[in-house]
Structure 1
Amino acid sequence: MQSVAFDEHIARLRARLAGPLPGTAAQLTMAPRHRQDPRLADVRGKRCREAGVLVLLFPLEVPGTGRDTPAVLLTVRRSHLNHHAGQVSFPGGRREPGETLRETALRETHEEVGLPPDAVDVLGPLTPLYIPPSRFCVHPFVGITRHRPALRPHDAEVADVLAVPLAHLLDPATRRRAPRLLHGQAVEVPFFAVNGYEVWGATAMMLAELLALFAPLPDPARAPTSRGGQ
């Protein structure tokens, strides 16, 4: 099967990750109004617990085309948990002594969905994100597999595994807003509508930066020119 579409997307992603990242500005497009201060998201100078997560892309067949398109891996937490019950997130967790954050992301993904670390080609990191309520500094790493992996929940905290087409996430109609009760106050929260779930909070912010890497770059030929002296 030809996978031209997948390969084209990944080549573009690899090139963008090698340059300046969209950063906090992209993350804040999916942050609630009370978290719009860039200093809140910045991990620098924060006393925090460190975590690593994997932002995995893999090929998903487009029915009737013979081509593959990128899909993003997300996990659904079980509804009975004390923390973040029912929420959608990237696989990952807290860093253990002696391991790098990259190793943390791969280990946690293996534990949660059964994906062997050596099956993942890690392309590079996204911008770390500080999460004030939990005091975690989360470090996301973008990785790919060349074939769709056989993923299923392996962890007591994971209820389901989602393969979300990148095209769906890039559709502006997927970005929505709804009121939520946070810390006793009604707050309008942005989210991605995915398979009947609402992806919000830190996951949505990291996802926004990933999607910004696929946005068209400004065309220097169309940049306004100075007319000074005329």
Structure 2
Amino acid sequence: VLVPLYVEGGELWALLTRRAENLPHHRGQIAFPGGGRETGEDPWAAALRESSEEIGLLPQAVLRLGELDEVATPSGFTIVPCVGAIPATFRAEANPDEIDEVFAAPISALAHPNLVEDREVRINGKRRVLRIYHVGRHKIWGVTARILQNLLARLGVAGAERYEV
């Protein structure tokens, strides 16, 4: 997946999507643009291709900043979050077959204690703490929250301990 970041008004923002309700998997969930790799693709090639298909972000508009820790999903996938800077002037064009909404979340909101919820859950029989970020009317949880948590930790944001896979 691509973790698109930009600066506007002195604030760092992350661009996110709400997956279309008609998709077979993870419908309506908040996610970063991205998807599965095609034969011969590395994580960056897949992230850039999928971002172009999903939100109209041209690959040449992305400045590669690096990669975050790989994240394993309960369904058996391994995600490599590719962090890239995008122009603040970028205006997304959501592909309605895949994306219902594109929105931005200020990084400072993700670090605000009143907007962060840690909920104990059982996943595959194991007790885990599920982090949920409340941003506007959106609940960001699961893999996307884990990626954000790792991003915040890398940025040195207080209270954003790294999520251990």
TM-score range, shorter chain: 0.7 to 0.9
Stretches of structure 1 that go unaligned for 5 or more consecutive residues are 1-52, 62-67, 218-230
2:17 pairs, out of 52, 58, 75, with: 75
Other-structure match for 2:81: 140
1:177 deviation in Å?
Answer: 3.6
TM-score normalized by the length of structure 2: 0.84
Is 1:200 the counterpart of 2:148? The answer is no
2:94 is aligned to 153
1:118 equivalent in alignment to 2:60: yes
Q: TM-score if structure 1 supplies the norm length?
A: 0.62
Counterpart Cα distance in 1 of 2:23 and 2:45: 25
Aligned to 1:55: 3
Identity %: 36
In the aligned structure 2, how far is the partner of 1:215 from the partner of 1:128? 19
| Kept after mapping to 2: 8 A contact 1:113/1:155 | no
CA distance 1:122–1:188, change in 2 (3 Å): closer
Counterpart selection for 2:69 from 127, 149, 152: 127
Alpha-carbon distance, 1:190 to partner: 2.4
Runs of 4+ with deviation above 4 angstroms: 178-183
| Number of equivalences | 157
Alignment check: 8 A CA contact 1:54 1:91 kept: yes
Contact 2:20/2:96 (<8 A) preserved: no
Tell me the equivalent position of 1:5: none
1:153-189 CA deviation, whole Å, 9 max, x = no partner? 1251200001111111121222114577977xxx873
2: CA distance, partners of 1:209 / 1:164:
16
RCO comparison, higher one (Cα < 8 Å, 6+): 1
Q: Secondary structure at the match of 2:5?
A: strand
| RMSD of aligned alpha carbons | 2.4
Higher-Rg structure is 1
